[in-house]
């Protein structure tokens, strides 16, 4: 298989596991929409850029921080596909005696690097990590994924300023720009005229792209700059299924068996390898 085909297959498998976890979660909402928007981003990182080995605590690994902690579904699916989690772990998502919660709880034996979910905090963790690697003259890279709604948090902009001030060219920030947050569209809640211009004004190198285009994502992650990099990934919330795409009800909505059966048909039709 080519590199692109490997990532596409990984993305297919992530979506399938997302559906299984959401259905098994029963009465618990599983943040389906915001998970589906970042599938290709997660897939590219885990297939190519995180430098992972069989040891989830390998000191040479690159670090990934899921700052938008509610987007855990593809994160857990990727950890399963890389061998750090078992199928049973996914089946016990958000259940008693399970290891996987609705937001990441740090467990490095399972590949879960940090506890996140308080929006705006993950990017600060990533800046601190990047500074640490720089000071210790380590080559590790840091990738942090944040939401566009999360950019309403002032701590995001403090971290952005710090990243440029300290010349953290080992840091890549990815913004999941799907246009929605928990209670509505970004434009309705706290409109930002241009996120691209906003990030550029802080001095970061900004690449805007289609967050579902695997080739574009790979090319963007491979680019090297002397400054921290911001990838503004234009995505579709609920990507992959007709009932969930750009439908903000699926930020929290519970997946039924009827929804699941429809989604499986669409998955095989649209993404089948």
pLDDT at 16 over 60: yes
How many whole angstroms separate alpha carbon 199 and alpha carbon 42?
22
Give 75-134 pLDDT, tens digit per residue: 999 999 999 999 999 999 998 889 999 999 999 999 999 999 889 999 999 999 999 999
Residue 149 is part of which domain span?
3-271
The candidate with the shortest Cα–Cα distance to 122, out of 76, 205, 100, 130, is 130
The average confidence (pLDDT) of the chain is 93
Percentage above 70 pLDDT, the chain? 94
- 3-state SS, the chain, equals CCHHHHHHHHHHHHHHHHHHHHHHCCCCCCCHHHHHCCHHHHHHHHHHHCCCCCCCCCCCCCEEEECCCCCHHHHHHHHHHCCCCCHHHHHCCCCCCCCCCCCCCCEHHHCECCCCCCCCCHHHHHHHHHHHHHHCCCCCCEEEEEECHHHHCHHHHHHHHHHHHCCCCCEEEEEEECCEECCEEHHHHHCCCCHHHHHHHCCCEEEEEECCCHHHHHHHHHCCCCCCEEEEEECCCCCCCCCCCCCHHHHCCCCCHHHHHHHHHHHHHHHCC
DSSP-derived pairing of the beta strands 205-210 and 184-185: unpaired
251 or 69, higher pLDDT = 69
Range 52-77 average pLDDT: 96
* Count of domains observed in the chain: 1
pLDDT tier at 138 (50, 70, 90 boundaries)? very high
What are 160-207's pLDDT values in tens digits? Answer: 999 999 999 999 999 999 876 665 566 666 677 789 999 999 999 999
Confidence (pLDDT) at 33: 86
Q: What is the pLDDT of residue 246?
A: 85
Radius of gyration of the chain from Cα atoms? 17
- Tell me the average pLDDT across 8-14: 98
pLDDT at 158: 96
Give the pLDDT confidence score for residue 128 in this predicted structure. Answer: 98
Q: What is the CATH number of the domain that holds 66?
A: 3.40.50.970
pLDDT at 187: 64
pTM confidence score: 0.95
């Amino acid at each position: 298989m080519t590199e692109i085909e490997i990532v596409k297959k990984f993305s297919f498998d992530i979506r399938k596991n997302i559906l299984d976890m959401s259905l098994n979660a029963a009465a618990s909402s599983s943040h389906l929409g915001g998970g589906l928007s970042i599938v290709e981003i997660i897939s590219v990182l885990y297939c190519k850029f995180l430098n992972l080995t069989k040891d989830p605590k390998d000191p040479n690994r690159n670090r990934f921080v899921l700052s938008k902690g509610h987007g855990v579904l593809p994160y857990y699916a990727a950890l399963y596909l890389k061998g750090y989690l078992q199928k049973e772990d996914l089946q016990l998502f958000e259940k008693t005696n399970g290891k996987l919660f609705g937001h990441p709880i740090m467990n490095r034996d399972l590949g879960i690097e940090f506890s996140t979910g308080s929006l705006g905090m993950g990017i600060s963790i990533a800046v601190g990590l990047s500074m640490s690697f720089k000071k210790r003259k380590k080559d590790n890279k840091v990738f942090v994924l944040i939401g566009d709604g999360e950019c309403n948090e002032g701590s995001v902009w403090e971290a952005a300023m710090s990243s440029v001030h300290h010349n953290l060219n080992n840091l890549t920030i990815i913004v999941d720009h799907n246009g929605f947050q928990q209670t509505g569209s970004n434009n309705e809640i706290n409109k930002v005229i241009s996120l691209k211009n906003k990030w550029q004004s802080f001095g970061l190198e900004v690449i805007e792209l289609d967050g579902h285009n695997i080739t574009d994502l790979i090319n963007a992650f491979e680019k090297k700059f002397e400054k921290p990099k911001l990838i503004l990934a234009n995505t579709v919330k609920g990507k992959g299924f007709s009932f969930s795409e750009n439908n903000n009800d699926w930020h929290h909505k519970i997946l039924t068996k009827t929804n699941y059966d429809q989604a499986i048909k669409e998955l095989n039709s649209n993404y089948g390898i």
